Structure 1
């Protein structure tokens, strides 16, 4: 198999492994075909008003200011006099789309929605809006349309402002909320002159939805402790009070309107959200109006697992906490519409002010609605599983379900409402467990198939290394071709049997991929069985103690890297240990100055994992320092190369890049100053930013292909972009990382001589563009395992060194303000991803240099890296779990996704970095891409 074929096959295999985790853990929980469940009693409210203050934290609303002033006096009076309140607990990811789906549809969004930016529906779902007679919505164009698209018929009306209004650089983001309040008042005024609309508004089962995005936007732009954020909270409170007054007057104070005020998610102190910090998952809930229990005093201690209630001064008012999805059945019950068909929320009865009969009927409808989902899920799984292999969920067989439902119905008819409610709660718990049982029914089967493919692929790569890049005795030329043909027939039969089995089970297309992938992979492994025989024959000639030492090193190193995903400080420990390498290897005696530089660069880099991941305020002084450091380094290099082969054209190119570095170090400071003064993003800064980003891809191709010439040009281009995307200390990370990388190249060059390898290349004479003499390419040695492990370790450092995406809530919109300030998730996400990849590319280019300078083919050393990365990925695959807290579940899955993404990116970046280092762009000529 040649290099290109192997690369394509390896890439496809890893893409399959990557996608498998989504089929195993991230499949949509939604099913269709259920019947809506209605309560046969009149509803307490004709209409419902839902206020969602996007990004409002529970403590920001409930906790008084330092001077004792209440931030939301109107809603505080509701809590103390006329309504019920509590905390709504959200789930990870704490983002707008999943939060609103949980609130309005009653289920927790699956991750497949990420692919569409949480703007469109990956699958259609039912919602309170869909079940209503009419719904009118006002707010963000990112949220409202998804509920209109998911609605049957044409009864959900949306009114959205232009997307350009969602500008983080806006002078006053609270205008987003003012727009909503003004539009609602104008809508009610116009209704008085429109008889058709007036009659619609006086129907029952009506919903008004006010999406208030100003708090979230101000929180991102100015942080939740800022005056802008806190003032916006007060504006929302007064706006809610005004809307309530206007609505009550419009409907003649008929007392048939219910109100719900809540938030989709909270926000951290540094203005981000997405993870599981209490500031993100604890959101306020206030409900009042028709059918709602009025405020109740309590003298007993309320234990909710937190101490916030005393800080809020609400310890004497009964607090009723709910899960976010429970709000959907609460709203449905208040206006008498069926609970959304896909809802997994449980009706919080303590919020209702109604008869026990009404509560029992509502809980019965809730239980049957969830049971309907369970029945559909069970039927689907039974139809796609051979009868003798199907294992039903024992607590809820057909007979037990019938008994449960009939017994509960009988209790309601006899007037035993409290007992019926208890029965419904038991049924809901069991139905929820059954839904999870059938949702994860194939998880073990698919997991075993993926693991089998994983092990087979890793074994095959090891055999390829031994066959083509190790100094083993070559196998005899006369192979038993007959045995090979028999082996092929056996695996063809196995593949056919697997296909027939999947066909009989009506399995999806992806199941065929996961289950059939191990077949050709293991065929390739067993086909090369002779290599293992050759290895066994070579054992007597090997240095077993050295082999064992490297085995221990790799095993310890992989475990260290795995632990670093949980504790970033472990990377600091790893760098400190790495600093001792020159002493342990004996390189210190040969090159003391470079050994000292190695130790210092390792220790400097070791500081970064100890710094906070998030929570920092933007400080562009660090960006200026990073730019000055880069300029100083570049100046020293040009000065040192003045008489050492640096052509005039390269010198002028470097000078131009140095000026660009200086400009890019200044732009973030200028931009943030302008935004603080609320003068918007300067057009000049925006043009410089986008021009720098585009030019960074081809400017390095204009420089000389001499090793250090090209590396410095690449580094300056990348750092220019990185500076524009930096807001604090992380701007210093690439220069320090590059210092260590340059030293690593020199140290590996010295290590060649130390281990007795002759004819080493002089670094100053190495040219990336020159094809390596095949006769000079050496075979792999045990020391190359160390080089590969160093590379993987540096990649992890590049990834987690500044904690850019160590946590999903480390996203900071301020990082992209030099490029744009209007909210655009795809462009912003792309820019942040490029920021994450820049340290990767620096390490990849260094690795390319090490391969060239140590006379290795680009394939051989990378294969060892692939094995180490795959062993890490397999480790994380076994750590994936679907139990415990949502943080534990999300973290375990994200770690596997990160490692698999890293492996795929490394394969793609290896091609990109080869082009960056080895090709030169001549003005007026085409770029010729050479591959070793």
Structure 2
């Protein structure tokens, strides 16, 4: 049992623990790739004098290369990019560049140009600033001239040698999702043309442009913007690809006209792809496959396909199966560009040049043939070895029981620096003209060294995994004993051995971390399991026997069965993250099977109307997880949701009353304001959507009115509070206040989901109240009421004593927490945060404001859940957060499962999902705690216990 004070203390500890431990997944599975103090390497000679990198931001490989890639568009051409296709068929080499999670613009460009894969959390640390310093091909060039987005270009100038990276960026306001985004790409071409024109009268600029190892970067953002606005399979996206193709053609012509030679190498690729609904960031295969086309000086031409074929089912529609397809990892592009211009590899590059492997063609057409390919393979091996060497020295110096990677063990005793023997063998093979053997050995050496680097980067993984699992299990045990068992003063004399043991373990780990120079976060992680298990052992050493003597220990069959059912329910929620139909199955179970097989017959017969309403609402909400996640903008769905919300508001005005006439008038006034805002929002959204479809943009007056309606309706329920005497009336005011969000930010049927979800929560309160009332009446009649627990401490009087049903209520709460996230704005799919509705209010690219709107849309159902949960706590006369603490204790059964499922191998879809699921599971409960706190504040002063309020506002006692 837990007193009110201990509830708050336990809640605070739990929230801090869960928030801190989100970082463990990154410390355990993903470490920073940046290594300092390394020596740089280069081939020392160039294949081309200059290089042009063209990145089509957000370009999908299949939609660029496939024949008849846009069959849904009337009169669409068979080949959407004839220039690039002609290059593939006649002059260059092509393949697929496979990106990594997160498939966002920033990490994609860092991989392409820096040759390194950033920490997956880096994208959340800054959109326009560098969370980690990195080197790049641009910084290793003699000069780089870059053109494009202000979100991408500056991060490659930051930290570079002053004056080496020059950039021309358009204004951020030009990134308007309601305008023709091809203008951004045309602007880039115009700036390049202007640069060459200025060089005709500027001798210094002309000399810089004509220097060797010069790089030009054309960042074409239009495709990304167009894909977000209209989706990739739209006519607009197809047109943007055609514009990009024309820009490639004119860029070639500009270089030929200005330089009058053929010493330029061209690389065309993308930073990431795009899903069917116009989003990216996760591991969806359409997000991870981007085109790579390389041609010009130093690049081989097209080659016939090999046996076995280099193609698969994905590339068959390209109509290029007669040509060899050479796939690469995204970081390999940086190595390829470095080799082409003869510059130093970026210092943190882990890319592998495609030409290292002699068993299949690469991309280079080296001047010195296979000798140059062998030499560049040697350089690549030295670059990768340098990473391993620095990490090896670091681990060897600071680890207590260091074990080098098995591949290098045989030379560890004779060499200070591992791998030098293998490098010497490669050099000797090249010296004697055995180029193929040298490349084969280099390939194997690079592969083993990368595995060794991964081994060192994850060297502490097992230890961190053990700490994390011990901490989560400790929290579960700590929460259980804190709720069930009092901390009595008589135990303090027995606590000293436990405290000494916990302190010794903590000191031992801190000493180990200091020796290994571990991150500061490790010191914090180990605090929690030491504290949790210390408290568990202290609390369980004595009070358990007292608790058993008071009648807690009876038949173990019931608790074990309930425990297994709750465990199975939580594991089914884990499966629900990947199988959306499970959420529907849950609603069917709690809406049909639970009442039929678990409710007492007296409750079913006496509350048959409640039973019918509960079942109907559950089945209605169960429909939404089954809907297709790829939703099209649907004004009928948006308007239907608004109409149902409006009818509920009118019904509430006519039904809910207050004891005092002033309270009734205030409620009606608030409801009228909110319904008026809802009505105007429906009209304006219909007008705005039609204008956007006609590509007229959003009229400023509509946007201003929209923001006014959006903000005012959201604030009214907080500013003008409905009276506390009628909790459901106050709940209705918040329901109506947030409904406008589901008009402005809806793409289809989210408003109807919001209605069914909210009604289900309201009926849940009534169902649990009826069941608890029946249980109390039955126990009083039969004389089987559970004997009161003797107060061991003064503060134990009136403490929360959990009942068997509390486990089920907590599990239901966890279920509603998950459904609130998976059913909001994305119709039960985590990957479907649609951006089109956001453009109605924010047409210009503003990631933080756009994210804020999407987050607000997610928050709205949680406010309803928090208020309903607060009403339920009050109805059951339980301390605030008492049921939430039970839920918070249970949820780590899910969290441990998600943590153990996290992987950094396999497909990027699997990697992205496992990381996301763990973080979402941890954050949802932390988030829900804050929301529950808001709910308690918003509903402070409401009737508690068996006091209810009738529709006409009279406060009555339940019989």
Q: Same fold (TM over 0.5)?
A: yes
* Alpha-carbon distance, 1:466 to partner: 0.7
CA distance in 1, matches of 2:269, 2:517: 44
* Alpha-carbon distance, 1:72 to partner: 1.4
Whether 2:103 is the aligned partner of 1:97: answer no
Name whichever of 268-277 and 563-572 sits farther off.
268-277
Contact 1:777 1:856 in 2 (8 A): no
Whether 2:507 is the aligned partner of 1:520: answer no
CA distance in 2, matches of 1:676, 1:274: 26
How do 1:464-863 and structure 2 match up within 5 A?
Answer: 464-467=482-485, 479-529=490-540, 530-538=542-550, 542=554, 544-579=556-591, 580-584=593-597, 585-586=599-600, 587-613=603-629, 615-641=630-656, 647-695=664-712, 696-697=714-715, 699-702=717-720, 703-705=722-724, 706-757=726-777, 779-802=801-824, 804=826, 809-863=831-885
Contact 1:264 1:283 in 2 (8 A): yes
Change in Cα spacing, 1:307 to 1:497, as seen in structure 2 (3 Å) is closer
Contact 2:284 2:908 in 1 (8 A): no
Whether 2:244 is the aligned partner of 1:232: answer no
The 3-state SS of whatever aligns with 1:612 is coil
* Alpha-carbon distance, 1:212 to partner: 0.5
Contact 1:700 1:713 in 2 (8 A): no
1:381 aligns with 395
Change in Cα spacing, 1:775 to 1:369, as seen in structure 2 (3 Å) is closer
Whether 2:338 is the aligned partner of 1:335: answer no
2:218 aligns with 210
CA distance in 1, matches of 2:95, 2:757: 48
Change in Cα spacing, 1:494 to 1:277, as seen in structure 2 (3 Å) is closer
Name whichever of 588-597 and 798-807 sits farther off.
798-807
* Alpha-carbon distance, 1:583 to partner: 2.0
Contact 2:38 2:387 in 1 (8 A): yes
CA distance in 1, matches of 2:890, 2:428: 63
* Alpha-carbon distance, 1:307 to partner: 4.2
1:186 aligns with 194
The 3-state SS of whatever aligns with 2:881 is helix
The 3-state SS of whatever aligns with 1:48 is strand
Whether 2:67 is the aligned partner of 1:64: answer yes
* Alpha-carbon distance, 1:753 to partner: 2.2
1:454 aligns with 472
Q: After superposition, what is the alpha-carbon deviation per residue over 1:202-248, rounded to whole angstroms, capped at 9, x for unaligned?
A: 11000000001111111111122222211111111112111111111
Contact 2:93 2:363 in 1 (8 A): yes
Change in Cα spacing, 1:347 to 1:807, as seen in structure 2 (3 Å) is farther
Name whichever of 449-458 and 563-572 sits farther off.
449-458
Name whichever of 287-296 and 274-283 sits farther off.
274-283
Q: After superposition, what is the alpha-carbon deviation per residue over 1:823-850, rounded to whole angstroms, capped at 9, x for unaligned?
A: 1111111221221222222212111111
Contact 2:57 2:222 in 1 (8 A): yes
CA distance in 2, matches of 1:33, 1:541: 63
2:789 aligns with none
Whether 2:63 is the aligned partner of 1:88: answer no
1:430 aligns with 448
Contact 2:658 2:664 in 1 (8 A): no
1:871 aligns with 893
The 3-state SS of whatever aligns with 2:419 is helix
* Alpha-carbon distance, 1:300 to partner: 5.3
Q: After superposition, what is the alpha-carbon deviation per residue over 1:462-516, rounded to whole angstroms, capped at 9, x for unaligned?
A: 1111136xxxxxx9x7715432344434433443333333323333321111123
* Alpha-carbon distance, 1:25 to partner: 2.2
Q: After superposition, what is the alpha-carbon deviation per residue over 1:297-324, rounded to whole angstroms, capped at 9, x for unaligned?
A: 3485624332423x22212222222222
Q: After superposition, what is the alpha-carbon deviation per residue over 1:491-543, rounded to whole angstroms, capped at 9, x for unaligned?
A: 33443333333323333321111123222222221221223333444567535
* Alpha-carbon distance, 1:780 to partner: 2.5
The 3-state SS of whatever aligns with 1:817 is helix
2:786 aligns with none
Change in Cα spacing, 1:384 to 1:77, as seen in structure 2 (3 Å) is same
| TM-score normalised by the chain length of structure 2 | 0.89
2:945 aligns with none
Contact 2:817 2:862 in 1 (8 A): yes
Contact 2:47 2:341 in 1 (8 A): yes
Q: After superposition, what is the alpha-carbon deviation per residue over 1:97-147, rounded to whole angstroms, capped at 9, x for unaligned?
A: 121111111122222322334422111111111110100000000111111
* Alpha-carbon distance, 1:268 to partner: 2.1
**Correspondence for 1:167 among 142, 162, 176:** 176
Contact 1:700 1:710 in 2 (8 A): no
2:249 aligns with 241
Contact 1:498 1:516 in 2 (8 A): no
Whether 2:378 is the aligned partner of 1:364: answer yes
Change in Cα spacing, 1:778 to 1:406, as seen in structure 2 (3 Å) is closer
Change in Cα spacing, 1:671 to 1:590, as seen in structure 2 (3 Å) is same
- Structure 2: segments with no counterpart, 5+ residues: 356-361, 781-795, 943-959
Contact 2:174 2:844 in 1 (8 A): yes
Whether 2:10 is the aligned partner of 1:6: answer yes
1:278 aligns with 285
Contact 1:28 1:112 in 2 (8 A): no
CA distance in 1, matches of 2:831, 2:122: 18
**Correspondence for 2:926 among 897, 904, 922:** 904
**Correspondence for 2:433 among 415, 420, 439:** 415
Change in Cα spacing, 1:325 to 1:490, as seen in structure 2 (3 Å) is closer
| TM-score normalised by the chain length of structure 1 | 0.92
Contact 2:800 2:882 in 1 (8 A): no
Contact 2:57 2:270 in 1 (8 A): yes
CA distance in 2, matches of 1:231, 1:85: 22
Change in Cα spacing, 1:297 to 1:214, as seen in structure 2 (3 Å) is same
Contact 2:502 2:534 in 1 (8 A): yes
* Alpha-carbon distance, 1:806 to partner: 6.6
Whether 2:38 is the aligned partner of 1:20: answer no
Contact 1:491 1:523 in 2 (8 A): yes
Name whichever of 17-26 and 198-207 sits farther off.
17-26
The 3-state SS of whatever aligns with 1:517 is helix
Aligned positions, number: 893
Q: After superposition, what is the alpha-carbon deviation per residue over 1:569-619, rounded to whole angstroms, capped at 9, x for unaligned?
A: 111111111112222212322211110011111100111111122x22111
CA distance in 1, matches of 2:882, 2:77: 68
* Alpha-carbon distance, 1:642 to partner: 5.4
Contact 1:588 1:595 in 2 (8 A): yes
Contact 2:115 2:331 in 1 (8 A): yes
Q: After superposition, what is the alpha-carbon deviation per residue over 1:884-922, rounded to whole angstroms, capped at 9, x for unaligned?
A: 2222222222111111101111121111111222279xx
CA distance in 1, matches of 2:12, 2:705: 37
